[in-house]
Structure formats: structure tokens, C-alpha cells
Structure 1
């Protein structure tokens, strides 16, 4: 297959796909320089793009290509992959639920999407039934909805060429590239305009001919009521997976320890990595240097972003960093709101209670001690999870269900093994990862008993 790759994981993924016998296309100049060869600008079967928050990648393309990519991207025990029920480019019959901000919330066969009024043809109100197309995906760990439009476009993965319904003429990077369309053997269907991406400037006539042939066939399918021949999926990389990708990238170019982990933190951190690697190659993950520049540090506010194996992320709350260890750990203090009880512990949650959480970069668990306003312990909850990552504004991981608790009377209890077993049975957690979680839980149980 042919794959177009964009984002902070590009070098490592170019290596992975190439080693597996696949062709990387539409590569940027830095990638061509790094791999010391030229890449084709032809149409892709698959587009692989880094998510907006840099935590993983989206996959969109022909179903066979998406399946192969899912296999290749399982680079670590803490890599999670989820199907997207609203693939990029998919066309649905939707119903407007209501409005939000500058657009409409549209109910789809599976889930919902967001239609900006600027992307809608005509006036839109609740109860309208519309034919819409997905133009922008939303990661399962993100709170956003996929973005929709009522203008139907047929496009190749990677954006080399597209046809837009209701338009005419040719939209191209320059007049010379636009003139090439007249030399091709493809017959553009009526009432569809041609749009060529900037990569079309360097594409061969054969590549352009193939790309326009593909989108012409797709346009005909849309016209006949077809939904979409493409599939989409998401891959979330955990800390262990990011370090695995570091190793792949290191085979091609100088790569500091924690390259992808740091780049995933922020755009500023990403730029700093590029600068550091241009000067030297640190051999160990420089947590203190990274946190000193970008956070978290003592006094900062940090959110605990609790990922679930099904793809959702729940923010457990935000607290103040009250202790910072340059070796890679922080202590977080959160003031608790009264009402109800603490999960599994059963002790009541009262006014004046605080939660003291210690999070260590790379560790497969973290403890939270709940205390009342007199400082007395109301129990300890140890969460077992994929390796913790301490980003500038949040701690991130994926919960592995099984946990260990210590009651105020000293009794130690292991909980939620059944939920982990269910997640394994549902295909959400791999058996190797589950065994790691059980082993971690057993070790914690012994240490606390």
C-alpha cells in the first residue's frame, strides 16, 4: 500500500511502513533528506496524521490499508487502537438535534457530528434531515465531535486530488499544474469541480491520472447514494510505545531519549527537541530539564486525565503540585467536594477532605491518599495503569481497571479484576498488557499488606 504520513511521528512511521514493504508517498523535504532518497508524490491508500494533541495518530483510507496500519502501529503494550464509526469522507443521512455555538449538532447512525453554519447549504434548524459528509475526525479521547459539511467532496487519502459537487473548473496550486488536467485521460463528471493539493505540483502525469480516476469513481458512488469506501481508526501511544518509536527513529537519525514523549507535550517542547538533537543526543530521558522548561513544577496546576481502554478520557480533577522531584515524580494536592463516598473505599467524602496523589513518570501505578481536615487517613487508592506521562498541564495514562486499596483500618483489598477480564474479552486490552497489570497489582498488594 501507499501511505502519506504527517506529524511528530513521521520519521519513525516512515521507517516502520517502509520496512514492512509499503511505499511512503508525498514525503516532505526533511524526510527525503533524512532517508537520503526521493519519494513519489502519487496518491495514497492511507493517510496517517498526528492528532491535534500529539497523543497518537489517525488512520484514514481503504479498509485493507487501515487494517494493515493497525497491525504495524501496535508498537508497545500501551498502544491502544480504536475504530472510528464516522470515517473521514463518509456520507450520512443525519438529523439536526439542535444548535451549539455557530453550528448544528447532527445525529448520525452511530454517534453525532458538528455542522458549522458556514459549511451548511441554506438555513438549518432542529428536526432538519440532511445529507452530510465528515470533513474532520475527532479522537475518541477528545471531547469534540467530528466536523461535517453539506458539500460533498470525493478525495484521495492525503489530499492529492479531490472533486467537489456543485462546482466547476480547476483549483490548483498554480496555472501550470491546472493545465495538466487537460492532458489526462480522465473524464470529470458534470457538476463536479477539480481541486488539486499542493503536492500535485510535483506529481507525475501518471500519478495525477490515477488520483483523478480514483476520485471520479468515488464521486459516481456518492451520486448513486454510496456512503464511503474508506475506513478510519485511531491509535493512542502510551509512554512505552513512544520510547519504542524512539528506537525505530534512532535507526535513521540522531534521536534523544524520550524524543516522542517530549514532543507530545507541547509545540514549544517539540521545537526544543529539534534544537537539542541538532547539537547532541542525550542518552537518558531528561525529565528535569524538560519539566524545568515546560512544566510541571511546584505550584503549577495539573489535571489527571484518566484514559479508559474504550477510548474515552475522564478528567479526575485538577490540583496543585506541592512537591517536585527532579528524578521524575510530583505530588499533587486536590481539595475534594463533599458528598457521596470514595470509590471502593466506602468512606464518606466530607468538607475539608483532600486527596494527595503521587505521580511518577513511567510508573505503572500511582497512589492517592485521602485525608480529612485533621490530617487523618480515610484510605489509600492505588490505580494500576499504563506508564504515567507528566505533561506540562496534565498527567496522562490509560486505566487498566484492576486496583489495590488500603482501608483506614489497614485492611488491603484488590478490586476490579473482573472489569479487566471483561476488557480483555471485549478486545479492548491485550492479554500481555493484562498480565502486566495483574503482576503490578499483585506486587502492590504484597507491599501494602
Structure 2
């Protein structure tokens, strides 16, 4: 097996995967850090940090993706993973659901809930409108917790690590300027144009030849598809893709793995996940203090939040992750209290209408929700009060350890919760939903056991 790794988790994941699976195409800093030789060879899977830095996507050959995902899941109890129903490279017959200013929302078929895609108008030659049917290919997959739909195109292509073939009416023109390419015994498939990646310059002749052979084989499979566009649904698999969301405990476990290779401050990955702006600060701290061995110690929550937030007066959202992979923003509020040791109090004004879950109390105009969030804690309480200050009930959410990022508190809800009614009654709720999530493979049993233990402790404390 061979794996290519990119993003803020690269050093730790290279250390984790190098001996077991083999890492290829390493960057210059990684080669220097490991003092090792990494071959320039095609990768059977790529591990890349998501745009929001909350985890990684693993894409490639299914067996390798499965093995790498197993390694990632073993790092920490709060790593969760999901298979992508619309992975990069997959071909779909699609129907246009609606058009917007810059593109169209596509129905890609799939599960009962359906899978949606996004087609930017720059990716299609003709005008499209609602009800049209198209054959599209996923150009870029999207993590399930993101707000993005997978980006699609009507131009079919097949990709390898060192080159790609693009279907072209102009035939198989080759670009990229690889010196050894003229010596290859295999030409690109008729009707497809070959595009070499810059990394191919460092590959040997056998590797280049194997790349073209593999691309031609995959292009032939696309040529074999029927021309007619049918009902929405997936026609080819594309790259097997798994998304892994890293919780706080996993990030700190990755710190320990990275520390085996190079000086690493406490909370290295936690800080870098918070904001891109923090990355340079983390690198500076480790460069200045690393040789003196002063990068350990406690996670500098106060220093990080005073520089980047959240602090008193900031607006903070509740990023309520679900075990199925979705992210729901429960609302935004003002940080009314800030403790540099790792806690904030968030106040939200509630809109009237409906009832509070489990409390079975009507939501009224003037109600205020006061939420106390502590970094690293497996639960958080929200107290609902009426306009007259009367306590209307308390809801304690059991979740993966809370992370307080500059504009959002992040965690994954673990279903089971504890409520305390206005009359003092304490009730534990939604154990059945947690059991169902375990049965569905959404929550690993060790994580579920942790959630149940936390719920029991909270329940006893409230009685």
C-alpha cells in the first residue's frame, strides 16, 4: 500500500502510517523532518485535511481507504467516520432540481433522502433549467458536516496521482512536458487527452507507463456507459472516499504522535484547527522553543482565545454535530462571561413558538437560554429562563469533548441527554436513539459507553 498525506495533520499521520502502509510523494519539510526517503510513486490513497481543518478526507482504492480509516479511527475515542455517497470521480445521471444565480442544484439520486450536487454554470456548455437531465461527474467531494454540496462537471475525466485523462473531441493531445513520456509504449486512449502532473518529472519509466495503463482502463469503463441519460443515480464508483472527523481527544493524541518526530506544543492540532491564522503562531512557538524542550505543558487556552477568540462580547455559534455526519447550527449568542482557564457563558434570546425538546415547555417571547461551555468537557448545560427570570428548565447535552473555536463551539451530539424540569424532576432521555446510532454503525460502542457513563454521572449530580 502507499499513501499521500497533506494538510495540518501531515507529520502525525505520516508517523502513524509510514511504517504500516508506506507514505509516498512527501513534501520537502516532511522529508527533512523524518530524514527519510519517500518514493515518488502513485498513491493508492490520499489523506488530505478538510478546508475547515476539522478532519481529513481519505480517497483512493477501496481496500487502502478502509485500512487507512481503521488506523485513523484507532487514534482517539472521538474520531468518527462516514463513507461518501458522492465521491470524487463518480459519474451520475442527474436531474436539475433548481437553478440559482451561479449554478444549478442537482438531484443525484441515492438514499431516501437523496444526494444533491452542485453544477456551476462554468462547468456546462449549454443553458440548463429545472427538470433537465444531465450526465455529470463529481469534481470535488464535500465533507458531510460542511455546508457544501459536491461540485460536479459535465466534462468526464479519470485521475491518477501523476496524470489525468480528459475526454476531448479534439483527441489525445498530451500536455505536461514529462521528459520520459515520449518513451512510453502506451498512448492515451483515443478521444482522451493526457495531462501530466508536475510531480511526474521525478517518476521512473515503469511508474509512468503503469499510470497511463491504469488511466486508459478507467477511461474505457466510462466509454462503455450508455449514451442515454436515465433516472438520477450513480453509474460509476469513482474514488472510494471516507471522511474522518477528529474530536478534541483525537487532536491531542495526534500531538503525542507528532511529538515522537519533532518538538510539538501542547494543543498543536487543536490550535491549528481553530483558525488558519493560528498556524503561523504555532509554528513560531515550536521553532523558538523547540530546541529548549519548552513546547510541552498545558494547552494555552487563554493565550489562544485572547488572540483569536472567543472572549467576552464575541458572538459564538453552537455547532451541533450529529453522529450521522451532518452539522446543525443551533443558534448564535453573545459571550457574556469568559474564563481564560477554558470556559465561556453564552446567552441567546429565543424566538417564540414550539416547545423545548424533552422539557415539554412552551417557548415564549422573551425567553433566554444561558449555556455554559467548558473546553474539553463531555457535556454542557443550557438553562432556559422566562422574561421574568423564572427558570423554565435545564437541558444537559451529552457530547464529544467541547472545543471553543473563535466563532463556533464544536462537538458531536451523542443523543442521550439529561433534563431537569422546573419542578425539580430529573429525567434521562434518548437512550434509544443512542442505541439505534450504535446499531447503524454511526457511533462506536466505546464512545457510546462513554456517553452513557457521562449521562449517569450528570443524572446523579442533578438529583
Q: Does 1:151 pair with 2:155?
A: yes
Q: Does 1:126 pair with 2:130?
A: yes
Q: Distance in 2 between matches of 1:9 and 1:284?
A: 20
Q: Distance in 1 between matches of 2:64 and 2:192?
A: 27
Q: Does 1:57 pair with 2:56?
A: yes
Secondary structure, counterpart of 2:354 in structure 1: coil
Q: Distance in 1 between matches of 2:363 and 2:217?
A: 61
TM-score normalized by the length of structure 2: 0.93
Q: Does 1:94 pair with 2:108?
A: no
Of 326, 329, 339, the residue aligned with 1:312 is: 326
User: Is the Cα–Cα contact under 8 Å of residues 87 and 238 in structure 2 kept in the other structure?
Assistant: no
User: Is the Cα–Cα contact under 8 Å of residues 400 and 437 in structure 1 kept in the other structure?
Assistant: yes
Aligned to 2:274: 265
After superposition, the Cα gap between the structure-2 partners of 1:193 and 1:54, relative to the gap in structure 1 and judged at 3 Å, is same
Q: CA deviation at 1:229?
A: 5.2
Secondary structure, counterpart of 2:210 in structure 1: helix
Aligned to 1:38: 37
Secondary structure, counterpart of 2:39 in structure 1: coil
Q: Distance in 1 between matches of 2:158 and 2:238?
A: 11
User: Is the Cα–Cα contact under 8 Å of residues 338 and 350 in structure 1 kept in the other structure?
Assistant: yes
Q: Distance in 1 between matches of 2:281 and 2:162?
A: 31
- Compute the RMSD of aligned alpha carbons: 1.2
Secondary structure, counterpart of 1:357 in structure 2: strand
Q: Distance in 2 between matches of 1:101 and 1:261?
A: 37
User: Is the Cα–Cα contact under 8 Å of residues 91 and 238 in structure 2 kept in the other structure?
Assistant: no
Q: CA deviation at 1:17?
A: 1.1
Of 152, 161, 164, the residue aligned with 1:162 is: 164
Of 286, 311, 315, the residue aligned with 1:301 is: 315
Q: CA deviation at 1:41?
A: 1.4
Aligned to 1:289: 303
Aligned to 1:26: 25
Of 237, 240, 247, the residue aligned with 1:228 is: 237
TM-score normalized by the length of structure 1: 0.96
Secondary structure, counterpart of 2:424 in structure 1: coil
Q: Distance in 2 between matches of 1:228 and 1:304?
A: 35
Q: CA deviation at 1:215?
A: 1.0
Give matches, 1:39-438, under 5 Å: 39-74=38-73, 75-110=75-110, 111-156=115-160, 159-166=161-168, 168-172=172-176, 175=177, 177=178, 179-225=179-225, 227-228=236-237, 230-280=239-289, 281-438=295-452
Q: CA deviation at 1:43?
A: 0.9
User: Is the Cα–Cα contact under 8 Å of residues 50 and 56 in structure 2 kept in the other structure?
Assistant: yes
User: Is the Cα–Cα contact under 8 Å of residues 45 and 62 in structure 1 kept in the other structure?
Assistant: yes
After superposition, the Cα gap between the structure-2 partners of 1:195 and 1:98, relative to the gap in structure 1 and judged at 3 Å, is same
Q: Distance in 2 between matches of 1:147 and 1:279?
A: 41
Secondary structure, counterpart of 1:24 in structure 2: coil
User: Is the Cα–Cα contact under 8 Å of residues 88 and 238 in structure 2 kept in the other structure?
Assistant: no
Q: Distance in 1 between matches of 2:65 and 2:259?
A: 25
**Greater Cα shift, 85-94 or 394-403:** 85-94
Q: Distance in 1 between matches of 2:104 and 2:353?
A: 36
Q: Distance in 1 between matches of 2:277 and 2:201?
A: 31
Deviations 1:299-320 (CA, angstroms, capped at 9, x unpaired): 0000000000000011000000
User: Is the Cα–Cα contact under 8 Å of residues 222 and 228 in structure 1 kept in the other structure?
Assistant: no
Q: CA deviation at 1:339?
A: 1.1
Secondary structure, counterpart of 1:106 in structure 2: strand
In the comparison of the two structures, how many residue pairs are matched?
Answer: 442
The unaligned stretches of length 5 or more in structure 2 are: 226-234, 290-294
The unaligned stretches of length 5 or more in structure 1 are: none
